[in-house]
Amino acid sequence: MRENIKKLNKTLFLLGRFLKRLEIKENRITDISFYSAIEDYSFVKEIISEDVIPLLDNRGIYIDYGKRIINIFDDKGNYLVAREFDLSVANQNGHTKLGEIIFSY
């Protein structure tokens, strides 16, 4: 479980460079928005499908990287919690990691 959280932290952090927002419900991408207008971002969708969705353990998420908000849903799509996060903090004190947020509910 700890390795899954670590991998999810790293992947969601790196995706923040490309994504404005991401929503995953029922193990599929339901909403995605990118920062730039590059025509083909299929590699990002592939990363999400192969490296993020399997680690969510049937949870749903909505991440708005611009507003720094994450919403978490259970496997039935029921809203569990909304939290703020800050990916700009470099040290461990006060650094909120997205994987820990997702698995704390």
Tens-place pLDDT, residues 8-56: 988 998 898 889 999 999 999 999 999 877 778 888 999 999 999 999 9
Q: Give the full edge-to-edge strand order of the sheet including 79-84.
A: 28-34, 19-25, 60-64, 69-73, 79-84
Rounded CA separation 100/81 (Å)? 13
The encoded tokens of residue 16 equal 């923040």
The pTM for the full model equals 0.85
Rounded CA separation 99/79 (Å)? 17
